[in-house]
Structure 1
Amino acid sequence: MFLESIFTPTTAKRIGFFILFDILISMATIVIAYLLRFNFFITNTFFESMMQMMMVLIPLKIALFFMFKIYFVAWRYFGLSEYKRLILVHVIIYAVFTGLFFIFYDWFDPFPRSVIIIDFFLSLSFVGFLRISRRIYLESSKKNLQVPTLIIGTNNRAAHVIKSADNGEINHNPIALLSDERSLNGTYFSNLPVYTKSSIVEVVKKYDISSVILTEVLESEALDELFTLLHGLGVEEIKILEMFQENEPTFKDISVEDLLARQPKDLDRISIANFIAGKVVMITGAGGSIGSELSRQVIAFGAKQLILLDHSEFNLYQISEELNNENIVSVMISVKDREALEEVFVHYSPEVILHAAAYKHVPLCEENIKSAVQNNIFGTKNVIDLSITYEVEKFLLISTDKAVRPTNVMGATKRVCELYARAIPSEKTEIVAVRFGNVLGSSGSVIPKFQTQIENGQNITVTHPDITRYFMLIPEACQLVLQAASIAKGGELFILDMGEPIKIVDLAKKMIELSGRDDIEIEFAGLRRGEKLYEELLIDEADFKTEYESILVSQDEAVDYAILSRQIDELRYGHELEILELIVPEFKHNTGETRLKN
């Protein structure tokens, strides 16, 4: 314990250590300076002046080192800025000593003035080397333990990563960089060679790269190609630089969301801000995947007040705590409760309503048809009817691609909601719907399910080898929803451009590849009840482009409102499937399960 306490580093011990060695080094440099000045033979005449120089210069040096906080720099963090300060202090010390020499010339005489210059450079070299020696040792020893790393991108973020690696803050040893700029090929960036991206294969092989860090943003397709190439070259660790926390970089692994993400190129934030800013906005289903992201966006775009409405206590609590804004009101009711819902309209007078409340899971809706009808159809009808009664400026219905030629109850109920939103007469309330496909990472969706199976070491279960789905990131989908609402005039059914559909089996293979595991296989379980092989976004091709390429508008013919209302009312008394098929003639209920062998 005694020896342990002696060798345990403290600030006082560090200061004492440096003072002792500064004294010894200063004595040594003065002796060497005299030896160099007199060809390694100091006469008795000048020996006394050498001792006088030590008596004056060394205390002066220690005092100014304290004054300029040289002794308070941690040994391992002594760097270029600290060395610049050390140079400045030395200039001051030797300038002061020179002044004292001329003031007290008789006391110093005889004194060789050239010794002052010689000792200045000797002291700066030896004292500086002492302080940087530990860092040199630590960095050289750590580089042997750090992972040989290739950095993609030549920017300030890359420079910070290199600096963090040099300081031993991350377990990476940057060896080279790749850049899109051909003019940088053959140059050096933070003392590391720069190559063009086209030479990535040669660079990985030449330097035996084990890790790659991305400091620039790549489109999903380019990122997918890069991942496939690096994985084929045996590079298992591929990191994306996210941010810096307390001056240290944080990284994340490439996720399937990164590879599937589609960034809308015509996102109009000004249009969204003009639509939302200063308004009282109510979001139903505010605690769900879509509702919670809409809530974040609405706050970000400057809503005057945000009413979060959800029947789930846990979901509502989570989004309320996350936003933590004084302009937020949390209302815990169900859209099925018309009386309670009406009180909200009376009390808060919402100007914009974003209706995201719905039961969305196909298998659960198949097992609970009545509940799906009550919540999705009658809940939506309540919100639309009250919006018209209380003259809400704009009502927006969140719909789904499952509403197109539905084969399940959930899709059929959402199609009924689209028809009702289109048919109901409304003079002062603009009623619109936005239809899109799956969003990446939403609760209960296929990606979190696959991820859980991989983490548990289970085989991934896919229903059918040919099944496809559309995907979009939640934030981008919600921004496009708000953008569509901003240009709506009432009666439109907007459709978001979801790109090309993705085969779920390919998604599963990519997630296995990203996990780095080789013990996971894919099993085919067969289509579930209500599930279909592929989703569609259009019932027919009669669609028109809007001013934004990412948003289309469907020419959905309005049905007779009186007939539709009567048919919807009949749903209250049972025979739900028959009535849904009557309202939505294209509804072909898939009641069986198709089992497939592995």
Structure 2
Amino acid sequence: MFQATKLKRLIFFLLADTIIFIVSIYIAYLLRFSGNIPEIYYQGLFITMIFLVGLKLSFMWMFKIYKVPWRFFGLNEARKIFLAHICATVIFSVIYFIIQDYLKPYPQSVVSIDLLISCLMVGALRISKRMFLDFSNKPHKGEPCIVFGATTKAIHVLNGLKQGYLDFYAVGVVDGRSDLIGTYCDGFLVQDKDEIPAIIKEYNVKTAIIALALNQDDLQVVFDELTRYGIRDVKLFSLVEKDPIKDISIEDLLARKPKDLNPEIIANFLKDKVALVTGAGGSIGSEICKQCLKYGVKQLIMVEHSEFNLYKIAEDTHDSRTVSRLVNITNEQDFESIFEEFKPQIVIHAAAYKHVPLCELNPRSAVENNIVGTKNVIDFSKKHGVKKVVMISSDKAVRPTNIMGTTKRVCELYALNSNKQGVCEIVCVRFGNVLGSSGSVIPKFKAQIAANKPLSVTHPDITRYFMLTSEACQLVLQAASIAKGGELFVLDMGEPVKIVDLAKKMLLLSNKEHLGIEFVGLRTGEKLYEELLINKDDVQTKFESIFVTHSEPYDLELLNKQISELLTLKGDKVAAALKNIVPEFNHALNLKG
């Protein structure tokens, strides 16, 4: 059905343009000779028609004009039509000088006249349907909405609404910028945003579509304004998204969008390299894999011990450069064989147990997976000539209060004190929560909302740092690209977010505020506030979102001995042994209630 519609459109425009081109040339001759064409010029007229019609159709095809539907015709397409006509005219002028003996006498001005007439007629045909739809008084369908922002994006939104792509119709355009208020946007008088309550009252509006490119702070302000006025359904328009108009999400409101991401530097770091990623199917690891492929690695070795997670990332990437290995990094023999076979140049270590309560219940497993796994990554990388190792750490390693955070701090100590500058450069990158990662609070809240259950928050004052997964991973790779070895990088996560405020916003976005919030008490090992990632002693790199923090040296021989002793312990003895390695470890126990 869809292909048949495209074919019909193509045939229609080809026939219509052919007729227009013929008529245009004839009109150009009529204008040149004041409506009376001398018979002696008819031969030149017919030859001109043959060449110019063919050339115009060819260049229109080359500029892909025939792939543009009526509804998408705009200034860009008009520019292409003009360029196609210019090219056809230039080529015809060359042909004229070759065959001018067959055309004499020939009025050369008709070519310029034809160019103008033909452009106008072809453009008029394509805009005619748009004009008809814009000025037709069709009955409104769906619900009324307002468009926030008098921008070119707003024009796209309004055109889409007229075409019926959403079950809404616009009743007004509002903006907060004084220089735009009182102007017109696609036929709508732009009103001050303070007029929103009046528009809501007159038309019973419940939906607003934001047609502005806003950073996270400004988007939060606009969202709060709209909801305060009584708007219950807020949508975002973006030309780069698969679905241009989508419901605003909690990720949109929390996303930081660092301004100093430099794709060129990341590409130079990864291009044509063999990279190995541990924990390749996890929230961080899977995004790291996608970024590695995006930035041009020669080969990507994806190591993962979860069959389902490895299957999923393999399906998501579906790239001939990837190799999937279902291996637990604590299995020394199998894991080392991967280094022997593929000889990676870059290793990005994302594998870790990170769920605080589960690590508290299973301290030995946390030690084996996090510490021994990291030790294997570092040791095999040094042994097999890996140029750079990037270990992904956590904000929970800062003055840790739980088993998970302490194991990550031990991993940092082992990695940073194993560094060999110029041989195997090992760096750590520490950051906070990523939005939507497995086991994090946002997917948990979404599941509770879907089940119509109250949102469970541990404490009214608990806060956390958040960043989009894709942006955090790009910053990790960017930090690695400037590393010399031995650095502990820290990502600027912005301001902490109160989890109770996050829960309220998610209920508001879901229009399920009636579900409410239930406070369940802090879990064992859980902090009320995560430590500030950036402090006054940290040194900013050339990127404003990446800092280098101080880390004390540690005797590697002693650390290896302490790790071996850890593996002989169980239960509470594990926590005591961890405190011997990390004196700042202050285990938070029995905090419920």
Q: Which residue of 1 aligns with 2:425?
A: 430
Residue 521 (structure 1) aligned with residue 534 (structure 2): no
Contact 2:492/2:533 (CA < 8 Å) preserved in 1?
no
Tell whether 2:269 aligns with 1:239: no
Is 1:407 equivalent to 2:427 in the alignment?
A: no
The separation in 2 between residues aligned to 1:586 and 1:188, in whole angstroms, is 62
Residue 566 of structure 1 corresponds to: 561
Partner SS state of residue 573, structure 1 = coil
The answer for the alignment partner of 1:267 in structure 2 is 261
- Which residue does the alignment assign to 1:175? 171
Distance in 1 separating the partners of 2:310 and 2:544: 34
Contact 1:164–1:170 at 8 Å: present in 2 too? yes
Structure 2 Cα separation of the partners of residues 539 and 231 of structure 1:
33
**Pick aligned residue for 2:467 from 460, 467, 472:** 472
CA distance in 2, matches of 1:378, 1:355: 12
Q: Deviations over 1:472-507 (max 9, x none)?
A: 111111111111101111000000011111111111
Provide Cα deviations, 1:250-301, integer angstroms capped at 9, x if missing partner. 4221111111111111112211111111111111001000011111111111
- Asked if the contact 2:504/2:513 (under 8 Å) is kept, the reply is no
Residue 217 of structure 2 corresponds to: 221
Counterpart residue number, 2:441 = 446
* Structure 2 gap segments, 5+ residues each: 6-68, 74-124
* Structure 1 residues 348-359: aligned runs within 5 Å: 348-359=342-353
Output aligned runs, 1:92-491, within 5 Å: 140=137, 142-143=139-140, 145-179=141-175, 182-197=178-193, 200-201=196-197, 203-205=199-201, 208-242=204-238, 250-427=244-421, 428-491=423-486
- Deviations, residues 231-263 of structure 1 (Å, cap 9, x unaligned): 1212112111245899xx642211111111111
Contact 2:431/2:533 (8 A) holds in 1: no
- Native 8 Å contact 2:173 2:188 kept in 1: yes
- Provide the rounded CA distance (Å) in 2 between the counterparts of 1:244 and 1:557: 45
* Distance of 1:270 and 1:78 partners within structure 2: 38
The residue type paired with residue 217 of structure 1 is: A
Measured after TM superposition, the shift of residue 160 of structure 1 is: 2.8
Distance in 1 between the 2:314 and 2:182 partners? 53
Residue 557 to residue 245, structure 1, CA distance change in 2 (3 Å): closer
SS of residue in 1 equivalent to 2:308: helix
Structure 1 146/426 Cα, relative in aligned 2: closer, same or farther at 3 Å?
Answer: same
Is this contact kept in 2: 1:457–1:520, CA < 8 A?
yes
- Secondary structure of the corresponding residue to residue 331 of structure 1: strand
Q: 1:142 to 1:329 in 2, by over 3 A?
A: farther
Alignment of 1:524-539 (within 5 A): 524-538=519-533
Q: Cα deviations across residues 10-44 of structure 1 (Å, max 9, x unaligned)?
A: x9xxxxxxxxxxxxxxxxxxxxxxxxxxxxxxxxx
SS across alignment from 1:309: strand
Preserved CA contact (<8 Å) 1:255 1:514: yes
For the residues of structure 2 that align with 1:358 and 1:235, how far apart are their CA atoms?
42
CA contact (8 A) 2:493 2:533 kept: no
Aligned residues between the structures: 468
Instruction: Give, in angstroms, the shift of residue 570 of structure 1.
Output: 1.0
Bigger radius of gyration among the two:
1
For 1:151 and 1:532, the matched residues in 2 are separated by 42
Aligned match of 2:549: 554
Q: Partner of 2:558: helix, strand, or coil?
A: helix
TM-score by length of 2: 0.74
Note if 1:594 corresponds to 2:592: yes
Task: Write the distance in 1 (CA, Å) between the matches of 2:392 and 2:344.
Answer: 18
Aligned partners of 1:513 and 1:304: how far apart in 2? 46
- Within a 5 Å distance, the mapping from 1:39-50 to structure 2 comes to none
CA distance in 2, matches of 1:254, 1:245: 13
Q: 1:179, CA displacement in angstroms? A: 4.3
Q: Work out the CA distance in 2 between the residues paired with 1:547 and 1:245.
A: 31
TM-score normalised according to structure 1 size = 0.74
Q: Alpha-carbon deviations, 1:94-136, whole Å to 9, x = none? A: xxxxxxxxxxxxxxxxxxxxxxxxxxxxxxxxxx9xx99xx88
1 CA distance for matches of 2:429 and 2:182?
A: 51
How large is the RMSD of aligned CA atoms in angstroms? Answer: 2.7
Give the stretch that moved more between structures: 251-260 or 442-451: 251-260
The amino acid across from 1:169 in the alignment is Y
Rate the CA distance shift 1:304–1:584 in 2: closer, same or farther, 3 A: same
- Which whole-Å CA distance do the structure 2 matches of 1:560 and 1:523 have between them? 47
Q: What is the CA-CA distance between 1:176 and the residue it aligns to?
A: 2.3
Q: Is the 8 A contact 2:491 2:533 kept in 1?
A: no
Deviates more, 1:497-506 or 1:154-163: 154-163
Distance verdict in 2 for CA 1:539–1:372, change over 3 Å: farther
Q: 2:507 aligns with which of 509, 512, 523?
A: 512
* Structure 1 CA distance for aligned equivalents of residues 239 and 381 of structure 2: 43
Measured at CA, do residues 198 and 558 of structure 1 come closer, stay the same or move farther in structure 2, by a change above 3 Å? farther
Greater CA deviation, 155-164 or 403-412? 155-164
1:139–1:167 Cα contact (<8 Å) kept = no
